[in-house]
Chains A and B, each alone.
Chain A
Amino acid sequence: MYKLNFNFLNRYGDMLIDGMKTTLLIVFGCLIIGFLLGTVLALCRQSHNKLIKGTATIFVDILRNTPFLVQLFFFYYGLPVLGIQTGPIPTAIIALGINTSAQNCEIIRSGLMAVKKEYYECAAALGYGKVQTLQLFVLPIAFRLAFKSLVNNFINLVLTSSVCFSITVVETMGAAKIIVGRTSRPFEIYLLILLCYCIFTYIISFLAKLVDKKIHIVL
């Protein structure tokens, strides 16, 4: 019978915690980029201007129809050829953030499309301009409608961030790989990492449920 041994934590616990901190940094960086860029892309895709709409559609389609790992390698190994070079962590944040924005774009767009025409008319009749209507009514309603799907996408982002170890980022998975190499205890280490990801995503789901209760709307 295999005997579990977690003694490696005494020596490598700090490395693992640093890896988790890096994961959090990447995830929250991507969250901000993904949300802001996703909103802009969603609005562009709803635009009546064919050039804006077309450009946003092509951008989103490319990102949604190519593997994230290839995108990550393109950003890290491909772009330096053109003189665009960033460190592993910024590259991970930018690549994953842009990838997330494409997914968020479609979610936010579905929220925007669910906002009834009557709300636009009512806001116009009250004297609001287009920007104010968007800012005060349309986007808040769309975000609330899309909230659950955005949270799902955020959880997906957390899980996908583990791929970033492949461009030498020492995040949770990267730290685990290093510790496995040094201790030869893959079962315990990967089991621990699985539990960490699981707990993290459960915490996100729990908090999201609390927020959803507060902001839930019925049209």
Chain B
Amino acid sequence: MYIQRTTNDNYESLIHDITGKVGKEMAMIEVKNVTKSFGTLTVLKNFNVEFNQEGVTVLLGPSGTGKSTLLRCINGLETVDEGDILVNGRSVKEKKNLRDIRLDCGMVFQRTVLFPHLNVMQNLTMSPVKLLKMDKAKAEEKAIYYLKKVGLESKAKALHNELSGGEQQRIAIARALMMNPKALLLDEITSALDPEMTSEVLKILENLAAEGVCMLCVTHEMQFAKHAASRIIFMDKGSMEADVTAEEFFSTVRKENERIAKFLNFIGE
């Protein structure tokens, strides 16, 4: 069963798509026995996990353990060597599915990419207009809605080089939300920002999490993980070390699992 993408122009109703109210009964993303290598380095080893369209899942773990690769594989930016990933029942291995998968899973990268020849409004509206065939006026109305949400409605005409790093990331989040994704994949989106900008972005994410927006985040921001995550997956050397609730992770699991305790101590948590 597929969750059908709506082309309804009424964005107020579309916003519900991302708040976990659709398709709760099925796993939205199924990662099945996935192995991914770069040359001789195996980044994901026979990895299995399922994500439902609800809440915030945080992927934790040391650098180089395959967290970002997992997100990139889900979005089809990397091919899987073995196994398969199904997003709403569609395999990422089929090229014809990639467009729908990418529309279902909005992605925001560590290094913000706003298109330099477009201003903020154009960056936000181009994709709904071109890909979802949304009316331009509706798209602009929706863009203003999301710009307000990320606190940047005054920057609609700005170019990317007129924005701070934090503002660019907030715009990138708004741009991803414009496409009504079923889930947001966030790949270390605060790691290139200074603490002030990081807190700006995390505040937006916490607000979105409070609204029930489904997110899958790779982050090293423990406070965010504590406050916003409903589920934490700890990865080490391409395998899953723990898959628990945030509460369990920061209480019982860190006491019982030496590797996780060491990681948390190392990052000062």
Interface residues of A (CB under 8 A from B): 116, 118-119, 121-122, 124-129, 132, 136-137, 140-141, 144, 215, 217-219
B77 touches A125 (CB 8 A): yes
B18-26, B125-133, B209-217, B239-247 - the one binding chain A? B125-133
**Distance of A124 Cα from B106 Cα, bound (Å):** 11
Q: Which of B76, B127, B175 has the largest number of chain A CB atoms within 10 A? A: B127
Q: Which of B98, B111, B113, B116 contacts A218 (CB 8 A)?
A: B116
Q: Which of B76, B115, B130, B176 contacts A119 (CB 8 A)?
A: B115
Tell yes or no: B223 within 8 A of A by CB: no
Contact flags B81-117 to A (C-beta < 8 A → 1, else 0) = 0000000000000000011001100110101010111
Tell yes or no: B13 within 8 A of A by CB: no
Given contacts A126-B127, A140-B117, A141-B116, contact A121 B109 (CB under 8 A): yes
B113 touches A119 (CB 8 A): yes
Tell yes or no: B251 within 8 A of A by CB: no
Residues of A within 8 A of B107 (CB): 125
Residues of A within 8 A of B65 (CB): none
B99 touches A127 (CB 8 A): yes
**Distance of A219 Cα from B111 Cα, bound (Å):** 13
**Distance of A136 Cα from B116 Cα, bound (Å):** 12
Task: For the complex formed, measure the closest distance between the CB of A130 and the CB atoms of chain B, giving whole angstroms.
Answer: 11
Q: Which 4 A-B pairs have the closest CB atoms?
A: A122-B113, A125-B107, A127-B102, A217-B116
Tell yes or no: B161 within 8 A of A by CB: yes
Q: Which of A119, A122, A141, A218 has the largest number of chain B CB atoms within 10 A? A: A122
Residues of B within 8 A of A122 (CB): 109, 113, 115
A-B contact pairs, 29 of them (CB 8 A): A116-B113, A118-B109, A121-B77, A122-B115, A124-B76, A124-B77, A124-B102, A125-B102, A125-B106, A126-B106, A126-B127, A126-B176, A126-B179, A127-B102, A127-B103, A127-B179, A128-B127, A128-B131, A136-B126, A136-B130, A140-B117, A144-B117, A215-B117, A217-B117, A217-B159, A218-B116, A218-B159, A218-B160, A219-B116
Tell yes or no: B68 within 8 A of A by CB: no
Q: Which of A121, A140, A217 contacts B113 (CB 8 A)?
A: A121
The residue on B at minimum CB distance from A123 is B115
**Distance of A200 Cα from B130 Cα, bound (Å):** 40
Q: Which of B111, B117, B131, B159 contacts A127 (CB 8 A)?
A: B131
Residues of A within 8 A of B98 (CB): 124
A126 touches B111 (CB 8 A): no
A118 touches B111 (CB 8 A): yes
B77 touches A126 (CB 8 A): no
Residues of B within 8 A of A121 (CB): 77, 109, 113
Residues of A within 8 A of B75 (CB): 125
Task: For the complex formed, measure the closest distance between the CB of A211 and the CB atoms of chain B, giving whole angstroms.
Answer: 13
The residue on A at minimum CB distance from B178 is A126
**Distance of A75 Cα from B164 Cα, bound (Å):** 55
